[in-house]
Structure 1
């Protein structure tokens, strides 16, 4: 019996040993035999379904890497991304292993992949500025292709997905979003049904950073998750069900889906944290709050719910909707054992952000409250819309010692003290464009206040402000704001103020201000960026009146008086690349006028002294559409106009003479149009010793400069140019920063033609033949046209005419006269001397028409007339009168170009082809009124007279305008009204013609 049992045991052991040997032999030999075939089939399937290149260093089919699964391992994997990132890695891994169902392989020959293992991988997800991602690496398939997939030899039937020690780098440039994760571990088990993968997953991320719009929200966070997800390989969608997540100590549940699109994604995600501790929320917040939490005791209960739903497609400007609900109950905060903790914190907050558009935001704060001992804050608020059209309702009631609040929440860098008591109710719509103001009743009282910031060592102290506001009808008209008392002390200087404001549509104001402010140090207290000033304001003002009285000229009803002293104050405008600096000056207020005397100003390197007055100051200050009027004398040693040009790119400059710094534009590149403000109506009497424009220097400039309706006019300008005295009248009006119209007349007596050619670009354009000339000439010329974005004339738009008087000129190397000399064999005509020659010409459509003129070149008498183009083409007729009396002459025709003139005998020539400007959007009536502006200015008129005359001309019909024009007495006046002269085409140059009016009544 024992022998029989022994035999059974031995036989069993032999069978077991043989089985073990057979299994081992199978596990060793099977991969060796079938590795090439299986690798080739899987590689074929991968290449068929991928659009990007897949590389790997080596492959191995084995049972032993992930025992007992048969796995095909691809070592040194490198998968490139899709366009536009096809040259960069999408996935790079030490190992990608595919687990294969051995039973299916042996019995059917079909390859079923039931597991994926990704080891030590780096996943790089990139999205460009237009929303194009690099993860579109799979071939898109239609329905017929998807049906064929069912009979293919490789199938995906996942039971397990395992990722070990992965790193993720996600950068979405269209959202300015960055996500980086390291030590990412994932283990998911599930099954594959049709095109859906269902996975139960365990996730742990050792370190994750998240940044959006250059703000870091996550830094070194630890994340653990238990997830149930579905992944659809056809739609590239991920569905989240029954998911739990822990971010540091904050437990979160979330569900929903994300569907990846070719140009974006669809999303519906709901994230919530219920019955959580308020303290745990701060462990998941950005680094700044985590550092603060380490020194703060936080208690309380919290519920949080966040939902993101909708589509993000950059090309279609689509963005998802955001919904947030946040509830805090029984909360308290105490920083570093503050003597009085913040307690009984209750917050019930809801907000929605359709399409992530802040202008459509709805905010509901059903309750906001907390206590500090006997101090309290209670509030309720609802808002909808943006600050320009805001629906708002709610109330707030406070009685609070600000110092206790600051200490309780641990704001150590700031000191804020004083008792703040307020009681406000508000309900209605704020929309200034339609004169709506919410119904409001409230009061504020801040007593014994003090403010100290880390940006400046001295505090603002003794702050006492009382304010009341009342509105009973929901309109601007029904608004009353009263500040019966306000004062503070800063650096031993006290500043006091009071105000009573009623009816925001037609402001009835009563404002007083008295004291001194050191503006530079006030700016430093609040750390105002981009502008630091070393300035001071000293005020002693009483302003009282109604806005409409100032508008209608009822100045006797106004009671505006007092003085305002300014020192080193910077004012900026979007039209100018630099700030205007008031170095020193005192304003004297009287009714609607603000007079100033010996007012010292700077703009860049330009220094100015001004005396005069401004009008309509109150209206201009209170209303964006009002015009500031004024008349004054401006004196300057030197003005550089290039510094007034608005250009595209700039750098930070420093203005010498005081600590005044601002972001400005680099004026070394003078591409741009000089911008003339449209809200100024000023008449300036000029006295400028030197004025620079690019390479041109004008000296001893005197005249009248008017700024009105975005135009600039120079009248009776007397100046020294290229060493000669000149009289100039001009008009300039810009259209945006791409184009400007100009019109000027110049009379320049006895100037050096060689110097003119070297220093004046316009002279080189109009008289290219003067390159080698020497001598004295005079010019009396009028010209108008368009300036391009580089402040250069558009040649086709130039139009004008005048006289050139040659007193004595030597023509050296003149190619045309040299060619005539050669053709006629008259050596005397080469390098001739000219004297007392008068040349009249007109310019239009790129053609300079020269009237017949006579001149002598001993012993010949010559006549010449014809055309030249601004491009240098010639069409001239010349007669050379032979000695002794010039009765017998040789007819000459000159064609070709100024560089290569062609000389022939005869008189007939073909007119040069005109080049028309591309667009002329100004009517003749418009041009006539613009000319009236330029020709009718003088300094004897008051601003009231100017306004009356302007009003008379503004809407005058064409027939009446020309009738008045023809019957005018010879008295010069100033009329300016060109606000209707706005060409509709802003890209093409405009050919303009001004019909001059010598007088207007």
Structure 2
């Protein structure tokens, strides 16, 4: 017994020692073997952060794990990461480890892997990294290497993205998980396979044709690693929630692949087919009732090598189906469709898409459509047709539209046929396009708009070159408008993202711009990060549209505007106003200029305005610039006219950035009167008080310039309170005023104290005008007023000098006292 216990103890100690010593002893040789093997086989830069070797986690096998693995291309793909993953692990037997010769890979575990496959414009691919046979160096003469005999596979969060730059095609399998456990029968392994792709995407020419699609596979898979043959036994594929029976096989004999796969919807009813709808829309199908037949099946068969791809045949069939929601009085019936996607062995340009016999009906309103697409890669040829009548009022009773409200009838047809090359060359004779659409009593209301948009009637026609809108009568809130005109270049716009051109006439009896400016509802879902975020109005790109307007009456802010006539052009992300004339504030205004969006969310503007004889109080309330630069207008009456050309930038709230303003202009006044001004009240010491109650200002014209928001007022002459005055000065961008008013005050209008003081002076009868300078400086809202009487003092002194000695001797004492009183 003692010998048994001793023997067992020795074995346990040796095993524990082996578990501790073996990883340390063999980590270096294995690390070198892994690196040598990989670099011997590929033209790429392979790196990994760490290499782990453990007997604990996979005993009695040895765990080999690469952490932080990356594979980066070389040459044209030197900056592209082909593979990155958090962990790649496998197990090898202890016997292989001690022999130090061939290793057999029996398991594979991948964690958080990203595979990026890229085909360039020239046809080169970044995954072609396996060295040619004449490039591969022999590791050792004994022929050491690694063999594959997988029986256990585990994949967690694998994302594979394929991009073809030449065809603008993207295929993505995102967040995939896979579990496969197998059993060996000779050289063949039988797997129980369970896999799920969280999201399958297919994009072509910047358009997503498939997204939010979930793929699931459960299968019994047979793998022959010697021949690299794989065959599906009893298997089920789920496309979203649509179950499909899967059968067939695929082979990888060398650098090519062979497919022979088939799948088919097991039940031929319409309800089963609707399970293909993406999960995010499945809630719409909860209370639906359906009838009719439907089926979905397909096959992939042939070789895949470089640009040579296997045959594809997919078929979607719907026959005499109907659907309606529980409790709904209406239903969609006579639903049918035959959709076929096919391609023989060869390149992707041989693909054909054919949708025929697409039909549905709501009561007596039928809808028919068809679509054919061929040669999608080289020069897409298309043939599409739509004809039908949609009563949106009844449709809303059949299909829930959440908070959207749709009413009215759209009746029309549209057909288009041709090749993309003809559109690119603007060879419209090779494009066949025709159609007409009519709207009647149509209305739409969504959470994104605050007012229902109503179209009482509308009619448009389509041909090869243009969409002609013969009439559109619409209303939203208090505003009405009538629109007619033509859109050209529409095929290039919709199919090639080119510029859409148009010329329209806009008429209206009344537009409420206050309502229209707030037509788009505020987003009720906000976060702390974006609560204060405001996006200035962005003019859409790829538009070249002209609107010739004739608006009888409009309201903007508190202004009532009439007879708006002119042109508005939308072009190059810019709004251009051309000779836009209007009657407002009992005067007239003409505007030329532009507003241009930019990515910085600070639009540029450049305007030339001519305003004639508008009322000053109303102008002050209406124009922000007047409030900023001429606050005294708040206490003014009369008319003002101005011509100004200025440019600058707006912030995201469409407020003028004052420091950006540049320009020049002039303004003139008619019947100007300043009422109860605190500023003018401060000069009552030298002008009679009764003249400063309501200060009358003679008509004048003043020129000014703007430089980075600073205003320079050029000298001009006028009369204030019947006194001649020269005015000039400037206003800084920080609203600091420096204004000089050089008065020539009539002797009769001087204040009583000053007039009495002058009466004691010899020769005072010769003094009829007194020069007095008023300095107004400081903060624009509360400027300080000071008097400069230096010039008046000089003139009085000159008059006194002209007096006789007798007159001077007689009045000398009184003269001194009065001069002190006058100037102090």
Q: Which TM-score band applies after superposition, normalised by the shorter structure?
A: 0.5 to 0.7
In the TM superposition, residue 578 of structure 1 has moved relative to its aligned partner by 7.9
Residue 619 of structure 2 aligns to a residue whose secondary structure is helix
Number of the residue aligned with 2:331:
459
Cα shift at 1:638: 0.9
Matched, 1:633 2:505: yes
State which of 411, 425, 442 in structure 1 corresponds to 2:300: 425
Distance 1:720 1:732, change over 3 A: same
Aligned position for 2:75 = none
Q: 1:457 to 1:382 in 2, by over 3 A?
A: farther
**Would you say the 8 A contact 1:417–1:451 is kept in 2?**
no
Select the residue among 366, 372, 396 that pairs with 1:500. Answer: 372
Q: Equivalent residues in 2 for 1:31-180 (5 A)? A: none
Deviation at 1:593, TM superposition (A): 0.5
Matched-pair contact (CA < 8 Å) for 1:753–1:773? yes
Matches within 5 A, 1:758-907: 758-822=621-685, 828=691, 831-857=694-720, 860-869=723-732, 871-883=734-746, 889-898=771-780, 899-905=782-788
1:560 counterpart = 2:433: yes
Q: Give the superposition deviation at 1:833.
A: 1.1
Q: Secondary structure at the match of 2:429?
A: helix
Aligned to 2:256: none
What aligned pairs does 1:492-641 form with structure 2 within 5 A after superposition? 492-504=364-376, 506-522=379-395, 525-567=398-440, 568=442, 570=444, 582-602=455-475, 606-623=479-496, 625-636=497-508, 637-640=510-513
Residue-by-residue CA offset, 1:738-763 (whole Å, 9 max, x unaligned): 43222222211111112212333332
- The answer to whether the 8 A contact 1:551-1:616 is kept is no
Structure 2: segments with no counterpart, 5+ residues = 1-55, 59-85, 89-151, 159-173, 182-190, 200-210, 220-231, 238-242, 251-258, 276-284, 527-531, 748-766, 792-824
Match status 1:689 vs 2:584: no
Counterpart in 2 of 1:221? none
Cα distance change of structure 1 residues 798 and 697 upon mapping to structure 2, 3 Å threshold = farther
**CA RMSD, aligned part only?**
5.0
Deviation (angstroms), 1:394: 5.6
How much does 1:674 deviate? 2.2
Matched, 1:675 2:538: yes
Contact 1:731 1:742 survives alignment (8 Å): yes
- Cα drift, residue 525 of structure 1: 3.6
State the shift of 1:717 in Å: 0.5
Match for residue 378 of structure 1 among 245, 259, 281: 245
Deviations 1:687-713 (A, max 9, x none): 223444444443321110111222111
Q: 1:677 aligns to what SS in structure 2?
A: coil
How is 1:654-669 mapped onto 2 (pairs within 5 angstroms)?
none
> Whole-Å Cα distance in 2 between the matches of residues 537 and 530 of structure 1?
21
1:552 to 1:597, Cα distance in 2 relative to 1, 3 A: same
1-side partners of 2:301 and 2:563: how far apart?
62
Which deviations, in whole Å up to 9, do the C-alpha atoms of 1:918-959 show, x marking residues without a partner?
xxxxxxxxxxxxxxxxxxxxxxxxxxxxxxxxxxxxxxxxxx
Cα contact 2:551–2:565 (8 A) shared by 1: yes
Tell me the distance in 1 between the aligned counterparts of 2:583 and 2:463.
Answer: 39
Do 2:594 and 2:607's aligned partners in 1 also have CA atoms closer than 8 Å? yes
Of 175, 182, 194 in structure 2, the residue corresponding to residue 349 of structure 1 is 194
Name the CA distance, whole Å, in 1 between partners of 2:515 and 2:301: 51
**Distance in 2, Cα, partners of 1:478 & 1:542:** 24
Compute the displacement of 1:326 (Å).
8.8
The 1-side partners of 2:447 and 2:345 are apart by 36
Is contact 1:350–1:365 with CA below 8 Å preserved after alignment?
yes
Render the CA deviation track for 1:492-525: whole Å, top value 9, x for unaligned: 2222222222344654222222221223544554
Q: Does 2:441 align with 1:441? A: no
The structural deviation recorded for 1:844 is 2.0
How has the CA–CA distance of structure 1 residues 404 and 905 changed in structure 2, closer, same or farther, with 3 Å as cutoff? closer
Q: Secondary structure at the match of 2:487?
A: strand
Three-state SS of the structure 1 residue aligned to 2:432 is: coil
Instruction: Provide the C-alpha distance between the structure 1 equivalents of 2:245 and 2:562, rounded to a whole number of angstroms.
Output: 69
Q: How far has the Cα of 1:813 moved from its partner?
A: 2.5
Aligned pairs, number: 552
Change in Cα spacing, 1:823 to 1:393, as seen in structure 2 (3 Å) is farther
Offset at residue 586 of structure 1 (A): 1.6
Structure 1: where are the runs of 5+ without partners?
Answer: 1-238, 242-265, 269-303, 311-319, 328-345, 384-391, 430-434, 653-662, 664-668, 909-1001
Secondary structure in 2 matching 1:401 = coil
Provide the rounded CA distance (Å) in 2 between the counterparts of 1:455 and 1:370. 35
Q: Distance in 2 between matches of 1:481 and 1:846?
A: 62
Please state how far the C-alpha of 1:352 moved relative to its aligned partner.
Answer: 6.5
CA contact (8 A) 1:873 1:896 kept: yes
- 622 and 326 in structure 1: CA distance in 2 versus 1, 3 angstrom threshold: farther
